[in-house]
Amino acid sequence: MITKPKGTVDIMGDDSLLWEYVNNVVNTMMKYYNYEYIRTPIFESSELFHRTVGESSDIVRKETYDFKDKGDRDITLRPEGTAGVVRSYIENKLYAEPDIKKYYYNGTMYRYERPQTGRLREFTQFGVEVLGSNDPLIDAEVISLQYNILSALNIENLQVSINSLGDAESRNSYRDALVKYFTPHIDELCEDCKERLKTNPLRILDCKVDKDSEILKNAPKTIDYLNKESKDRFDKVLKYLDILEVDYEVDPSIVRGLDYYDHTVFEIYTLDNNDGSQSALGAGGRYNKLIKELDGPDSYGIGFACGMDRIINELKKMDLYKDIKKEIEVYVMYVSEEEKLHAIDIVQSLRLNGVVCETNTLEKGLKGQFKEADRLNTKLLVILNDEDLKKGLVNVKDNATKEETKVDISEVVDYIIGNL
C-alpha cells in the first residue's frame, strides 16, 4: 500500500466540512474589508526565497523543499506567501497603478520541518498582503482583520502580541545593542544562536532552544531603541487598534526573525482553557524594504498569515462545531427503471434550481434508501412509484414530521423550493 508522505494530511469527511466552513468565513471577511483574491505559483525560483525570507533564516537554511527541474533550474516549493505576492506585484508593475493593493491568498505551503502536532510539511495558510501604503491605519486594519476572522470563528481567548522594530535606523541601533549584550554571553548560547550572533542577532530572540534562558529574558528591548518617528508611528497603530477594539498587548520579545520585517510585527495566539498552553494561529508584520530588495521601487508592504490546519484543530476542540454535519435537502427515491428515469429528471431540475439533492446510485431497495436519506440528514424525500407516476403525481415526504403530500410532477420543483 502506498501511504502519504510524512507531515502531510488527507482532508475529508467531517474535517472537510469544517475546512469549507472556515474558507467561507475567511472569504466573506476578506470581501467586507475589500481584499482581492490573488493566486501565485506554488513553486518559484529558489532565489526568490533566498533573497526575501533570508539565507540565514531557519526556513531557508533547513526547511525549504528545493529541487532542480528538468531544465536545470533551481526551484523551491513556497514556504510562505509574502515573497510570491510581492514578486507578482513587481513583475506585473502593479505599483504603477494609483490605488493601494489589498490582496488575500489561501493555499498550501511547504516546509521540511520535524512533523509533530501543529507542525506539518505541507500545510495551508490564508493571509493578506497590502502594498503601497505606509499609513499606520493599514497596520491596524490588517491586525484587526486577522483578529476578527478568528473571532468570527468563535475562537476564544485570543491574544494579539504586538511590537515594533522601527525603521532602518532604529533597527540598526537595536542590532548593535544586541551584539554588545550577547557577545560576553556567547558561550551560554546554543550552537545556532552563536551563528545567529554573527549573521542576524535579532533571530536569537526567536530561538526555541534558548527561549527560557535568563540571558534572553534580560536582553535589550526593541521599544527602547525606536527613534522618535518610529515611536510615534507605533503609538498611532496602538491608538487605532484601541478604536477597532482589538485586544492586544505590547510584547517586546516579538521580533519575527525574518530579514524583511520593519516597524509593526505581531503574532496571534489562543490560550487553552485547560492547561493554559498557547497555540500560535497566525503572525505578520510590515516589510517596507522588501519591495526594493526585490528590484521594485521604494514602496510599502504589510501582511499576515494564519495557519488553517491549526485553526481547524482549535475548532475541533469546541462543542460548537461537533454538530457540523453533511446535510442534503432532498433525496429522490425509486425502485423500477421507469421510476428511475423520472428520478433522474427531477434530481437534475432540483440541482439546477439550487437545491442540494441526491438519489440512489447503489441499487438499494426502498428500505436502504430511507436509511441513506436519514444518514444524510435529508429534509424532504421524493418517493416515486409507477402507479402515482401514471397519474402524473409524486409523493413528497417531510423527513422530520413524516407528513406526506401528493404533488403534481410538473410542480414538484416549485413545491419543494417553497417547502424547504
Contacts with ligand AMP, residue ranges (CB under 6 A): 80, 111, 113, 118-120, 123, 125, 280-283, 305-307, 309-310
Q: Minimum distance from CB of 261 to ligand AMP (Å)?
A: 10
SS3 120: coil
- Specify the residue for cell string 475567511: 26
CB of residue 263 to ligand AMP, shortest distance in Å? 16
Closest to ligand AMP by CB, 283 vs 350, is 283
Q: Which of 316, 322, 315 is nearest to 155 (CA)?
A: 315
Q: How far is the CB of 123 from ligand AMP (least distance, A)?
A: 4
Q: How far is the CB of 281 from ligand AMP (least distance, A)?
A: 5
Residue 304 CB, nearest approach to ligand AMP (Å)? 8
For ligand AMP, the closer CB: 54 or 307: 307
- For ligand AMP, the closer CB: 116 or 410: 116
Nearer of residues 124 and 359 to ligand AMP, judged by Cβ: 124
Position with the least CB separation from ligand AMP: 307
**Cβ distance to ligand AMP smaller for residue 155 or 306:** 306
- Nearest-approach distance from CB 260 to ligand AMP, in angstroms: 12
158-164, strands of its sheet edge to edge: 36-37, 101-110, 122-131, 301-307, 278-286, 262-271, 158-164, 248-250
What whole-number distance in Å separates Cα of residue 100 and Cα of residue 132? 5
Decide whether 121 or 397 has the Cβ nearer to ligand AMP: 121
DSSP state letters, 34-78: TPEE----SEEEHHHHIIIIITTSHIIIII--EEE-TT--EEEE-
3-state secondary structure of 23: helix
How far apart CA 196 and CA 211 sit, in angstroms, is 14
Backbone angle region of 363, left / alpha / beta, with phi > 0 → left and psi within -120 to 50 → alpha: left
Residues 201 and 189: their CA atoms lie apart, in Å, by 12
